[in-house]
Chain A
Amino acid sequence: MKELIKRLVETPGPSGYESKVREEVRAAIEKYAAEVYVDALGSLIARKGPDNGSGKRIMISAHMDEIGIVVTHVDKNGFARFTNIGGVYPRNCVGGRVRFLNGVQGVIGQEQAGAREALPLSQMYIDVGATSPKNCPVKVGDVAAFERPFTDLGNRLVSKAMDDRIGVAIAIETLRQLEDTPHQVYFVFSVQEEVGLRGATTSAYGVNPDIGIAVDVTRSGDTPNGPKMAVKLGNGPAIKVRDSGMLSDPRVVAWMVARAEEARLPYQLEVLEGGTTDARAIQISRAGVPAGCLSVPSRYIHSPSEMVDFNDVQNGVKLLVAMLSQPVELG
């Protein structure tokens, strides 16, 4: 699975421009799904499970897109000004590297080279080694992802785009491992989550599920003087109760907890202040969908070095497989 994760995180795919990631996902799941298709905004949807089964229609959503940047202007000396796609923190940019979709690489610099703190993005620029707009290999509208290789620390994995390629990897593994299910499961590899859950909004409408589960990262409260949160790396996948965009359906939370306890898997209950997931969009779709989220505790989210615990990831797969393998009565 680590090989899969490495391939996924190292593929560039900022919101709106996910096609390279989509191709990786398609190659990984094609043989295991009954049907694979791409919807209007580019989400990849893979269906598994019996057509006339006794179960429910369940949508699992993991987003393919990552945060990135887009060129707004190439100045007279060949420096490329940029703005963000999704939540990009200036402090994570300074001295960082990017890779454009056309392959060009660059370094992020900021004005006032002696400045102690990070300036706003409008006072930064990307240096691709050009000296004028004429010899600059990037232009207005070109899109780049942050560039940092995957690193395996043993129990902990580090890379840019763990948010949410780790969710994508969990969904892929679950799809592969799921053998007997009474449900019709739609694995949605969604687009444009980072800019407002847009892919999940339209995919949920198209799939029209009975239940929705997002698979995404969440913060953890286990770093020095860090955010105050009960969730910690290594304590198991998190079952989301609430985040700043939604309240998980209590029946879905109860179902997830019951499966985790039956399968004797470690789990944590998550309340996240600041951040939301595809589950919010699924919940409000059409006539409403009971929704929840399986979260992977992460450190340094939206930095080029997001960290997750590999045991949490594997237990996440086990929990998802357990949830999908048995009938569900939400009550």
Chain B
Amino acid sequence: MQIPIRTAQIRLLERLCNACAVSGDEGEVRKIVLAEIRPHADSVRVDALGNVLATRQGEGAERLRVMLAAHMDEVGFMITRDEKDGFFRFDTVGGLDARQLVGKTVVVGKEHVPGVIGSKPVHLTTANERDNTISVDSLRIDVGPGGNGKVKPGDRAVFAPNFVQIGRGKGRSLRAKALDNRIGVASLIELLKNAPPNIDLLAAFTVQEEVGLRGAKVAAYAFDPDIAIVLDCTPAHDLPHWDEDQENTRYNTRLDAGPAIYTVDRSTLSDPRLVQHLTDTAESLGIPYQIRQPGGGGTDAGAIHKARAGIPSVSVSVPGRYLHTAASLVRLADWQNSLQLVYAALSRMTKELLRKAR
């Protein structure tokens, strides 16, 4: 069986991407998630940190309790000080490269007040200045005069919503801010709606992943599952090397190569039994997949696998270019294949999977 990605799913992803939910303030996404899943879950609750924890029971004996996690938060900004005349100091929340901020449009607060992050006109700069990164400390969000009434310190801000579909056929792509990790959230919603009956599905739409995997830590403690699979979005640095004669050996993942399965990252050493199960499933069904290059980065699995007495975990991500910037890019086919792979892997899971020690 396949979970299709059609107009409805893309529209939902668009609403999710255009919502503003910076770590610690995930309400807008939480609202969409709750509305979508309530009819399909056996139980739904929101915990002390704002995680949405939903369960859907399977049927039959000896069912594995499988936790699926996708983080609702995005990297963004927090207003720190009102400097009058509509100018506001701000700080970043989560990992953001300061060089990605200048000259961007943003929206601030619950009312999505429009603003810009401007910079000095080039005519007024010196050559020396242009060689240096403009620090976040010297940037301001400008919402225009009168904005002071609607914007205050503590408000969050994000890159302005900008979801578009690009191209057709095999190259059909989606470009938006916050594909990391609204695409994981969208996938988890679909999986909850179409949960295979052989498992108990414990869905955690987590908060505060970008500031230290904090929601996942308490969600895993609460669920205490047998297994966990994390759905996220991971960088594809598959651009050419500046020297065409040299190979790009550090691409992390590539677009069009299918869902990325994690083995080793900074936060987790995936359970090899789960990695094997995923690759076996992919190969037997002809689903393309790639192994995410071992190295840096991390997902909610980093917190989940260390919960309680330990939880065998693995992550599966959709590859995306330009994550944590104003416009990220994913291939629809990679999204479809990721959803397909996780669904198939869940459908084939039995307690045999954990019988042999790790």
Residues of chain A having any CB pair with chain B under 8 Å: 15-17, 19, 22, 38-43, 70-73, 75-76, 81, 83, 85, 122, 140-141, 143, 192, 195, 198-199, 201-203, 205-206
Contacts and interface: CB of A to CB of B under 8 A. Distances in A.
Contacts of A81: 249-250
Interface stretch (B91-99, B170-178, B305-313, B318-326): B305-313
Interface residues of chain B: helix, strand, loop or mixed (majority): loop
A29 to B, nearest CB: 16
B294 interface: yes
A40 B249 contact: no
Given A39-B310, A41-B310, A85-B264, A195 B357 contact: no
A41 B274 CA distance: 12
A71 B309 CA distance: 29
List the 7 closest pairs (A to B, CB-CB), nearest first: A16-B269, A202-B310, A40-B310, A206-B309, A42-B358, A41-B310, A38-B357
Contact of A140 (B272, B294, B310): B294
Contacts of B315: none
B250 A122 contact: yes
Contacts of A205: 308-310
Contacts of A143: 264
Interface in B46-79: none
Given A38-B358, A42-B357, A198-B306, A141 B263 contact: yes
A141 B249 contact: no
Interface in B282-330: 291, 293-295, 305-312
Contact of A72 (B250, B275, B306, B357): B250
Nearest to A76: B247
Nearest to B261: A141
Contact of B291 (A19, A75, A140): A140
Contact of A198 (B264, B275, B305, B312): B305
Given A16-B269, A76-B247, A70 B357 contact: no
Contacts, number: 80
B269 A141 contact: no
B311 A72 contact: no
Contacts of B293: 72-73, 83, 140
Interface string B331-358: 0000000000000000000000000011
Nearest to A81: B249
A206 B310 contact: yes
Contacts of A72: 249-250, 293-295
Contact of B263 (A70, A73, A201): A70
Contacts of B295: 72, 83
Nearest to B290: A140
A108 B247 CA distance: 19
Contact of B309 (A40, A141, A195): A40
Contacts of A195: 269
Nearest to B312: A40
Interface size bucket, B side? 20 to 34
11 contacts: A16-B269, A19-B358, A40-B311, A41-B305, A41-B310, A43-B310, A73-B293, A81-B250, A85-B269, A198-B269, A202-B310
A192 B249 contact: no
Contacts of A140: 291, 293-294
A199 B291 CA distance: 24
> Chain A CB within 10 Å — which of B291, B307, B358 has the most?
B358
Contacts of B305: 41, 198, 202
A81 B246 CA distance: 14
A83 B291 CA distance: 14
Contacts of B307: 202
B272 A17 contact: yes
Given A70-B263, A206-B310, A15 B269 contact: yes
B310 A141 contact: no
Given A17-B269, A40-B309, A198-B306, 6 more contacts: A16-B272, A40-B358, A42-B358, A72-B249, A202-B309, A203-B310
A137 B327 CA distance: 39
Nearest to A22: B357
Nearest to A82: B294
Contacts of A198: 269, 305-306
Contact of B357 (A19, A141, A201): A19
Interface string B255-277: 00000000110000110100100
Given A39-B309, A205-B308, A205-B309, A71 B294 contact: yes
A41 B358 contact: yes
Contacts of B264: 16, 70, 83, 85, 141, 143
Contacts of A70: 263-264, 294
A70 B296 CA distance: 12
A195 B306 CA distance: 12
Contacts of B357: 19, 22, 38, 42
B92 to A, nearest CB: 25
Contact of A141 (B247, B291, B311, B312): B291
